[in-house]
């Protein structure tokens, strides 16, 4: 099983979409391993978006990510990193396919509802960036045999 990090961005909180977006991941069959509300500092955002620090929109996204608290979530499942990226859709909400979260809820490249880790390496770093070990819970879902064949997990 893989774990991945999702951030429900400020636009999601402001538009009262928290429940709907969390529900997408729940209904897919992912296990919620951790969740909390946090107001992101410029420091943590600079680290999180370090790959974009040369881009002209670097400060703009950091400002947009700190207009209000966000919800950080850790989801677990088989191939969870790819599964969550596929559910999330293309970065620009206007180009994202219908049926994806960004395709269904976003008209913007910046106000695009969620952040989702894009590789196993990034997921491990991002989970550690936002959660302490004791905030990640390793309980078992009692419906695993309804979610997967017994050789899939």
Interface residue list for ligand TYD (CB under 6 A): 52, 57, 61, 91, 109-110, 112, 115, 118
C-beta of 50 vs 149, nearer to ligand TYD: 50
Min dist CB 58 to ligand TYD, Å, is: 9
Closest CB to ligand TYD: residue number: 91
What are the Cα distances from residue 59, in Å, to 36, 65, 66? 24, 10, 11
Q: In this complex, which beta carbon is closest to ligand TYD, that of residue 52 or of residue 107?
A: 52
* Inter-residue contact 44 to 85 (CB < 8 Å): no
Q: Which two tokens stand for residue 84?
A: 């969550």
Signed CA dihedral, 49, 13, 5, 34: sign only: positive
Name which of 118 and 135 has its Cβ closer to ligand TYD.
118
Q: Which of 3, 9, 62, 115 is catalytic?
A: 115
Nearer to ligand TYD, 64 or 147 (CB): 64
Question: How near is the Cβ of 56 to ligand TYD at its closest, in Å?
Answer: 9
- Annotated catalytic residue 51: no
Query: Cα–Cα–Cα angle for 58, 115, 103, nearest 5°?
Result: 105
Residue 64 zone, left/alpha/beta (φ > 0; ψ -120 to 50; rest)? alpha
Question: Rounded to 10 degrees, what is the CA torsion of 47, 53, 56, 59?
Answer: 30
Phi-psi region of 71 (alpha: psi -120 to 50; beta: other; left: phi over 0): beta
Q: How far is the CB of 98 from ligand TYD (least distance, A)?
A: 17
**How near is the Cβ of 123 to ligand TYD at its closest, in Å?**
12
Catalytic residues: 115
């Amino acid at each position: 099983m893989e774990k991945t990090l999702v951030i429900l961005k400020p636009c999601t909180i402001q538009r009262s979409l928290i429940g709907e977006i969390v529900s997408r991941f729940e209904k897919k069959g992912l296990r919620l391993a951790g969740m909390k509300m946090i107001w992101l500092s410029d420091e943590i955002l600079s680290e999180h978006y370090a790959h974009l620090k040369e881009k002209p929109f670097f400060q703009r996204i950091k400002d947009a990510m700190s207009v209000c608290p966000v919800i950080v979530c850790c989801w677990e499942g088989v191939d969870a990193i790819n599964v969550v990226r596929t559910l999330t859709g293309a970065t620009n909400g206007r180009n994202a396919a219908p049926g994806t979260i960004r395709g269904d809820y976003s008209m913007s490249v910046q106000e695009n509802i969620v952040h989702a880790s894009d590789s196993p390496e990034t997921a491990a770093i991002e989970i550690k960036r936002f959660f302490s070990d004791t905030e990640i819970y390793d309980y078992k879902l009692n419906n695993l045999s309804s979610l997967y064949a017994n050789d899939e997990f």
